[in-house]
Structure 1
Amino acid sequence: MIVMDDEPLALVNMEKKLKEFNSIEVIKSFTNVKDLLAEGPSLDFQVAFLDIEMPGMNGLEIAKLLKEWNKNIYIVFVTAYRDYAVQAFEINSLDYLLKPISKARLETTINRIQELLHLEKNSTPIRIQHKPILKIQCFGGFVVLHDDKAIHWRTVKTKELFAFLFSNLNSHVPRDTVLDALWAETDYKKARVQLHTTVSYLRTTLSTLGYVDVIQYANGCYILQLEDFQCDAHNLEHLLNSKMETGKLDIKKAEALIQNYQGEYMATLDYPWVTSKANFMNTQFTLLLHDLVEHYTAIHDVKNLEHILLLTLEHNPYSDKAIQQLMKHYIDLDNRASAVKVYNTFRSTLVADLDILPEHETTELFNAISVEV
């Protein structure tokens, strides 16, 4: 690691404290930017302890420079002032130490560094395996598993922030958009502090799972970039995109997705921001059901067709089109009693929930068969 502080006495003091840890090696210390620029690029280091208050380039600016040299360098800020905490976390720093630094507090930081470096060292064999490490279920709720075990989130907001960023995966999300989504009712200054604390918690959680530096902050935006994960919602999108490109639906993958379907997108979560994304994903799922209806109709697979039609109505309980398809299916099977039964249930649901009646075409279809039952 390297250490930088413009005050020689403070630099010596920090070096002395770090040398008390046998696992840490300080390869170079700097008191000015000129020396860092001259020697830094040729040094092999993984961690930088930086004082924030320095002349010329301050520690925050130097951290950005180091990240340009190597995005995997871990930054630890050291300062006598609390005012830089938010900016420090935005640069994706590992930690933020306030002077005077106690041995116990420094030990916590060193332990975090060792843990992350150990995970980084051992991450390659895991990545060689083609089995996704993270399993993310979005339909029916939001469940995240690591090696088939549910992830423990430090706070409720940590989970929600991950859900929000994952819903915008690989997209730059403005900081204020995140604040409006998750902390709309909180004072702006307090919300910013809570956001950056939560980002720190989330980064730590993901880092301990082997996902290091997957959340970046630049130009006022956050971006989550993940690899090696499996997700039902992403499988659906890929399935439909592939169908658009090739003109052919992968039936086996579609059936597997249907079999594991747990309900509407993040249905059990009371997140105000989820509505728009949920509407889109639920529409995507309806498109998949429609494609399967066409497929099973074409190959005269009566059993699977009925299953998909029932699931379509369950997914769209107020849809006249869905009930009409199911009724016509029963009529084709000469099972008019079932057609009448599902109509009556549909009508009762509309009246009870929406205080409306079925569309004229649906009622006409019912009238045409009810006298024959």
Structure 2
Amino acid sequence: MIRAIVMDDEPLALINMEKKLKEFNSIEVVRSFTTVKDLLAVGPTLDFQVAFLDIEMPGLNGLEIAQLLKEWDKNIYIVFVTAYRDYAVQAFEIHSLDYLLKPISKARLETTINRIQELLHLENKPNPIEVRNKPALTIQCFGGFVVLHNDKAVHWRTLKTKELFAFLLSNLNSHVPRDTIIEALWADTECKKARVQLHTTVSYLRTTLSTLGYSEVIQYANGCYILQLEDFQCDAHDLEHILNGKTETGKIDVERAEALVQNYQGEFMTSLDYPWITSKASFMNNKFTLLLHDLVEHYTAIDDVEKREHILLLTVEHTPYSDKIIQQLMRHYIEVDHRAGAVKVYNNFKSILMTDLGILPKLETTELFNAISVE
């Protein structure tokens, strides 16, 4: 429940504002004031989170009262209610939450109240960083391969040490045959020499990880190596956990998925020229596409067209040759009555296909474009 005070020097305007606020079950008017004297006498003892203030009042005006309230409690939200536009700039200089012009519609007031609820929810929501410490080891796989320890880049003894870690991380918690590793990392090296180099590189990697506090995380048994890591953060593994959670519960963890998408830097290990990367990259990039698809479905279900458009555009960037995605984006623009956007998307797609692949869009995509053109 939002606790509010209301102040207006005109009694009828005050009663009208109270009446409008009482139409919402989420807000409680704890006290109303018509004079600064009453506010000064009672206000400091009240527990409230937001003040609805008229601006044009005798004595102290609403702007001055807002500054006074902020001195009492800097976290109080200020909403100005006035018939004049002239004070808007001054109002927002005081960091007011909103500026409502009389007469106020219920829909406009609802927007303000919803915003207050969102801000109060964020204030009361525990900070994940405060609840648990951020893992010391963080790994970015999308857009490259960056390994940080306490926000500092990890120093690798050799380039092969880094590549071996990337390879084992891509097969985390799986027993990988020694010969499979050699074939992936030392395919052009004589077998006996390759085994020596693998043994040396494993030793370097164990030493590096040990200095970071990860001892005995690489084991060798029955001709296989296995990397077992705990207490670390990795975007690729976050992706897999999100998708696994969707499979188990039928629902996507939207907050976690949005965070992953927001930090997206590009395709899986895209900057690495490792021979073994191709198949793994294709697999992980397809998983990221699935995540984007799930987000599009979610935003469609809740009718959030703005976020849906953002994710569709990112999906097109991620998979530029997909007729299916282009059709989704075109239909989105048709739905929001932005047919020019749909036409532009089709023309760009056709140009890319012809330039890069020498082919035309599929018949269904072209028919969708023709339908728009006819209309």
- TM-score, structure 2 as length reference: 0.64
> Counterpart of 2:336?
333
Q: Which residues of 2 match residues 87-106 of structure 1 at below 5 A?
A: none
Q: Which residues of 2 match residues 171-190 of structure 1 at below 5 A?
A: 171-190=174-193
Distance 2:199 2:318 in 1: 38
Q: SS where residue 264 of structure 1 aligns?
A: coil
- Are residue 236 (structure 1) and residue 239 (structure 2) matched? yes
Distance 1:249 1:218 in 2: 38
> Counterpart of 2:202?
199
> Counterpart of 1:215?
218
Equivalent of 1:255 in 241, 254, 258? 258
Distance 2:336 2:134 in 1: 44
Distance 1:203 1:278 in 2: 25
Q: How many Å apart are 1:337 and its aligned residue?
A: 0.9
Specify every segment of 5 or more residues in structure 2 that has no aligned partner in the other structure, as ranges: 1-130
CA-to-aligned-CA distance 1:60-107 (integer Å, 9 cap, x gap): xxxxxxxxxxxxxxxxxxxxxxxxxxxxxxxxxxxxxxxxxxxxxxxx
Q: How many Å apart are 1:300 and its aligned residue?
A: 1.2
Distance 1:185 1:371 in 2: 59
Distance 1:349 1:131 in 2: 42
Equivalent of 2:154 in 131, 151, 162? 151
> Counterpart of 2:297?
294
Q: How many Å apart are 1:140 and its aligned residue?
A: 0.8
Distance 2:374 2:246 in 1: 43
CA-to-aligned-CA distance 1:204-260 (integer Å, 9 cap, x gap): 111111111111111111111111100011111111111111111111111111101
> Counterpart of 1:88?
none
Q: Which has the larger radius of gyration?
A: 2
Q: How many Å apart are 1:286 and its aligned residue?
A: 1.1
Q: Which residues of 2 match residues 73-88 of structure 1 at below 5 A?
A: none
Distance 1:371 1:351 in 2: 24
Distance 2:303 2:173 in 1: 41
Q: Which residues of 2 match residues 1-373 of structure 1 at below 5 A?
A: 130-372=133-375
Letter of the aligned partner of 1:256 in structure 2? A
Letter of the aligned partner of 2:186 in structure 1? W
Q: How many Å apart are 1:266 and its aligned residue?
A: 0.7
Letter of the aligned partner of 1:261 in structure 2? Y
Q: How many Å apart are 1:166 and its aligned residue?
A: 0.4
Q: Percent identity?
A: 78
Q: How many Å apart are 1:189 and its aligned residue?
A: 1.3
Q: How many Å apart are 1:371 and its aligned residue?
A: 4.2
Q: How many Å apart are 1:131 and its aligned residue?
A: 2.6
Distance 1:174 1:350 in 2: 41
Distance 1:213 1:175 in 2: 18
Q: How many Å apart are 1:129 and its aligned residue?
A: 6.7
Distance 2:303 2:132 in 1: 41
CA RMSD of aligned residues (A): 1.3
Distance 2:155 2:369 in 1: 52
Count of matched residue pairs = 245
Q: 1:200 to 1:129 in 2, by over 3 A?
A: farther
Letter of the aligned partner of 1:281 in structure 2? M
Letter of the aligned partner of 2:232 in structure 1? F
Distance 2:152 2:139 in 1: 11
Letter of the aligned partner of 1:368 in structure 2? A
Q: How many Å apart are 1:370 and its aligned residue?
A: 2.5
Q: SS where residue 223 of structure 1 aligns?
A: strand
Letter of the aligned partner of 1:329 in structure 2? H
Distance 1:370 1:203 in 2: 63
Specify every segment of 5 or more residues in structure 1 that has no aligned partner in the other structure, as ranges: 1-127
Distance 1:291 1:270 in 2: 30
CA-to-aligned-CA distance 1:134-170 (integer Å, 9 cap, x gap): 1010111111000000101111111000000000011
